[in-house]
Amino acid sequence: MTDYDALTARIRALTQGETDEVALMATIACELHHSDDRFDWTGFYRVVAPELLKIGPYQGGHGCLVIPFSRGVCGAAARTRQVQLVPDVYAFPGHIACASSTRSEIVLPVLGANNRLIGVLDIDSDQPDAFTDKDATRLAAILQEVFGGL
């Protein structure tokens, strides 16, 4: 399991003073991906047009390149601005199978200043039911700290 206190401290030290969204996403994706064996694919999808996400910095195998807000777990997180905690991706209506190994997923909206939707953080696991409410809470806190003022 992730040592969120140590992870938060590392991310804080690495991102302090940085304002470039892509640089921040790349750093966070790397740190998260290597922090926990449950994390099989870790990355960001960026809002690039109304109702449209495109792949951003990530770690792991190839991801989907484009995801409309109307499709999949990432689209649901962007559309609702709510964390999507999916214990079984095959039970999620409209799940987009970017990787056949994905069994469970957590997706969090990435919000900047004034509640501006920057994108979503997507973490996939090859294990079923890999994510908890603690993961959602601690990851949301990291995202808020890093992106909340942008």
Overall number of domains in the chain: 1
Whether the predicted pLDDT of 1 surpasses 90: no
Q: How confident is the model at residue 100 (pLDDT cuts 50, 70, 90)?
A: confident
pLDDT, tens digit (0-9, with 9 covering 90-100), for 75-91 = 999 999 999 999 999 99
- The domain that holds 48 is classified in CATH as 3.30.450.40
Residue 94 has what pLDDT? 83
Domain that holds residue 84: 4-147
Q: Tell me the sheet residues that pair with 55.
A: 45
Chain mean position to CA 58: 9
CA dist list (Å): 109 to 6, 98, 121, 127, 149: 22, 19, 6, 22, 15
Residue 117 has what pLDDT? 98
Q: How confident is the model at residue 141 (pLDDT cuts 50, 70, 90)?
A: very high
What share of the chain has pLDDT > 70, as a percent?
Answer: 100
Q: How confident is the model at residue 105 (pLDDT cuts 50, 70, 90)?
A: very high
